[in-house]
Structure 1
């Protein structure tokens, strides 16, 4: 399933990954390069399987760990109210 941030979330690319700002609460999160790749894949319309594939292609990570990491990140982004 593709990911969409709420209208209250701003993103910025940095040398170290992606920063997410929740403008409602003033909270921010910094995603490392793996988290950035997952979010970028999902924001471009890819599903979780595509994000897992992107992780295993780009980084030295096995399939099971990549799947667990993608699921955890997506769950956290949705639970925090950043993503739909």
Structure 2
């Protein structure tokens, strides 16, 4: 599945992670460093498994937890309509 950022959503990277702003309704989300890594991997074309592998390579987390974290973030981003399938 290829994802892209919804056209109404803008992002800014900060020293603490990434902030996403939905221009349609003014809602925003702040992603911490691990969520930022996952977010950029997913919108950059990585699969869930590839994003989980990046988490495991960067943080001390095992495969089941990394995959669950990626899936949970992905579900939240889709539910909030921050990302869409390309």
TM-score by length of 1: 0.96
TM-score by length of 2: 0.94
Cα RMSD (Å) of the superposition?
Answer: 0.7
Q: Which has the higher strand share?
A: 2
Q: Any residues of structure 2 matched to 1:9-20 within 5 Å, and which?
A: 9-20=9-20
Aligned residues: 84
Residues 3-24 of structure 1: CA deviation (Å, up to 9, x unaligned) = 2111000000000000000011
**Would you identify which runs of 4 or more consecutive aligned residues in structure 1 move more than 4 Å?**
none
Residue in 2 aligned with 1:26? 26
Structure 2 unaligned blocks of 5 or more? none
Alpha-carbon deviation of 1:80? 0.8
Distance (Å, rounded) in 2 between the aligned partners of 1:18 and 1:45: 18
Alpha-carbon deviation of 1:70? 0.3
Residues 1-49 of structure 1: CA deviation (Å, up to 9, x unaligned) = 2321110000000000000000111011000000000011112111111
Structure 1 unaligned blocks of 5 or more? none
